[in-house]
Structure formats: C-alpha cells, structure tokens
C-alpha cells in the first residue's frame, strides 16, 4: 500500500515460465495484489505461478495480448485495487521500479505513468534491436505531432494506471492484438488523463518475449491508424468506437460469447 492506496501488479503471461519467478521475486513488498493472467501457455507458467502464490486466471484459448490485458485490469479492479501496474513477466522491464511508478500515481500527480526505455538513452545498451529503436523513434515523433502529447515513447509495456482510468476508458472496444497498447494511450490522451514518464532500463535476451518482424510491421500500421483517428475524432470528422464515452467498459458484460476465463485454486 502506498499513500493509503491499494497497489496491484498484473502480469499478462504467455509461455513465461523461464522468467516468471525472477520477475515476481523482484516485486516490491508494498504490492498488495499480484495477478497473473495466462493466455493459453503451453509451458510450465501455471505451475510456477501457483508455487509463487499469485492470483491466477487462465483463458481457455490464446486470445491475444490485448484480451489478456482486459482480463488483467478487470480482475485487479474486482480485487479492490486503487493503482494497477502492468509488468511483463519476461523480465524485459525492471520490477524494482513498480514502487516509483505506483507512487507517482498514488500521489495524485499523474493518472498514468509509463516506464520509458528511451529516457536515459539505455535502449540500445539494453539490447533493443536497432530496427526496433529506429521504428520506435519515428512512430513516436509521428504520434506526438498528431496527438499533441510530448511522450518519449508510446510502445513500452510497463505502465501504471489509476482505477478511475481503467473504469472510464472503453477498453472493450480495443484490439485483442498488440496495438491495444497504443489504443489505450490514445484513449488516455483523448479523455484528458495526465500522463507521466520514468526512465526504465530494458533487457533484451533470449528468454524475453518479442514480436517478430512481420507482426512488428502489422503493429506499426495499427499505430499509424490509431494515431490518425484521434485528431479526426477530436474534430468530429469521424466517430470512432475507441473514443466513445458510452463505449463498452470493464464494468459491463466482459466475457465474450464462447470465451471462458477461470481462476485457478492451488493447494
């Protein structure tokens, strides 16, 4: 607990067995709620998560990174979290920074805090492939122009949110794929939430998850489309489902027909 706020860490997992224990080991003691959502892993992720004492939820199939986040945030809110921090269980981001990010939100200074790999200049030193670094910088420059924000990057997977943000945004209108990350930031900007950043070192290594070149290209085009929708929606040129205040939220019917999410009980 920080400043009287209950802190939840959520971990969207897919085949994270090799790095999960190290990630959980480095989570600060101030974290009140620790949730892992497994999106159809085929390795030992669930067994290890159970041994680590996490609250574990599992999808009945591999639905995608965006759908995984929807479940993460929904279950964190149900558990009574005031601040929710997403930490990837692949140890690409340093879990020791959870307290710093959560404090920036719990203090009331920011509604959203991003762990930036670009601030501090450590992305390349941490092993980020140069093509990804160049694409990150180009996309970020494009996004800052069209969103009006001044962020160092939009593509980090290390994020902290107030519960209010997660309840307000129409998150069920977002993609099930990786572009979910950019859609939620575009929504935060559109709805006027305050976004802060903190420098976060990154580690790229064999066990760390990373999307391949083909999916990176698909993600890039998704980012461009999402970014252009924001100013068009602001000026009433289009009416995008992403920015409808009345859009589907996490406190409405969540599980889609045919989708099963269940909590695992470990003895």
**Residue 59 belongs to some domain of the structure:** yes
Rounded Cα gap, residues 43 and 23, in angstroms? 17
Structural domains of the chain, count: 1
200 contacts 128 by C-beta, under 8 angstroms: no
pLDDT tens-digit readout, 190-215: 999 999 999 998 877 665 556 677 88
Rounded Cα gap, residues 9 and 36, in angstroms? 8
Rounded Cα gap, residues 19 and 63, in angstroms? 22
Task: Give alpha helix (H) positions in the chain.
Answer: 20-25, 45-51, 65-78, 98-106, 130-147, 163-168, 180-190, 213-234
Number of Cβ within 10 Å of residue 18's Cβ equals 17
The pLDDT value given to residue 265: 81
Residue 145 has pLDDT above 60, yes or no: yes
User: Which tokens sit at 90?
Assistant: 């692949």
**Residue 254 belongs to some domain of the structure:** no
**Residue 259 belongs to some domain of the structure:** no
Query: What value does the mean pLDDT take over residues 13-35?
Result: 96
The pLDDT value given to residue 261: 84
CATH number at residue 44: 3.90.550.10
**Residue 262 belongs to some domain of the structure:** no
pLDDT tens-digit readout, 74-120: 999 999 999 999 999 999 999 999 999 999 999 999 999 999 999 88
**Residue 2 belongs to some domain of the structure:** no
pLDDT tens-digit readout, 213-256: 788 889 999 999 999 999 999 999 999 999 999 999 987 565 55
**Residue 258 belongs to some domain of the structure:** no
| Lowest mean pLDDT, pick from 125-134, 234-243, 257-266 | 257-266
**Residue 230 belongs to some domain of the structure:** yes
Residue 258 has pLDDT above 60, yes or no: no
Q: How confident is the model at residue 259 (pLDDT cuts 50, 70, 90)?
A: low
Strands 195-199 and 83-86: unpaired
pLDDT tens-digit readout, 33-88: 999 999 999 999 999 999 999 999 999 999 999 999 999 999 999 999 999 999 99
Distance of CA 206 to the CA centre of its chain: 21
The pLDDT value given to residue 93: 93
Q: Which domain holds residue 118?
A: 7-247
What sign does the dihedral 228-231-235-236 (CA atoms) show?
A: positive
**Residue 257 belongs to some domain of the structure:** no
């Amino acid at each position: 607990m920080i400043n009287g706020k209950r802190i939840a860490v959520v971990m969207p997992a897919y085949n994270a067995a090799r790095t999960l224990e190290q990630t959980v080991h480095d989570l600060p003691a101030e974290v009140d709620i620790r949730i892992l959502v497994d999106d159809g892993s085929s390795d030992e992720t669930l067994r290890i998560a159970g041994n680590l004492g996490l609250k574990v939820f599992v999808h009945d199939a591999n639905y995608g990174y965006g759908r995984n986040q929807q479940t993460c945030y929904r279950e964190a809110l149900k558990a009574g979290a005031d601040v929710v921090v997403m930490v990837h269980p692949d140890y690409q981001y340093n879990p020791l920074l959870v307290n710093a990010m959560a404090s920036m939100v719990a203090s009331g200074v920011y509604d959203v805090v991003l762990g930036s790999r670009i601030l501090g200049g450590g992305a390349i030193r941490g092993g980020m492939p140069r093509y990804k670094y160049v694409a990150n910088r180009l996309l970020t420059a494009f996004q800052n122009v069209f969103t009006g924000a001044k962020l160092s990057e939009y593509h980090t997977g290390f994020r902290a949110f107030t519960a209010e943000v997660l309840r307000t945004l129409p998150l069920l209108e977002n993609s099930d794929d990786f572009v979910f990350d950019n859609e939620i930031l575009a929504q935060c900007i559109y709805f006027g939430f305050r976004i802060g950043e903190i420098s976060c070192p990154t580690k790229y290594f064999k066990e760390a998850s990373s999307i391949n070149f083909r999916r990176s290209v698909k993600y890039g085009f998704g980012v461009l489309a999402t970014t252009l929708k924001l100013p068009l929606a602001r000026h009433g040129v289009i009416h995008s489902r992403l920015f409808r205040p009345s859009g589907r939220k996490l406190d409405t019917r969540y599980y889609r027909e045919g989708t099963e999410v269940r909590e695992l009980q470990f003895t």
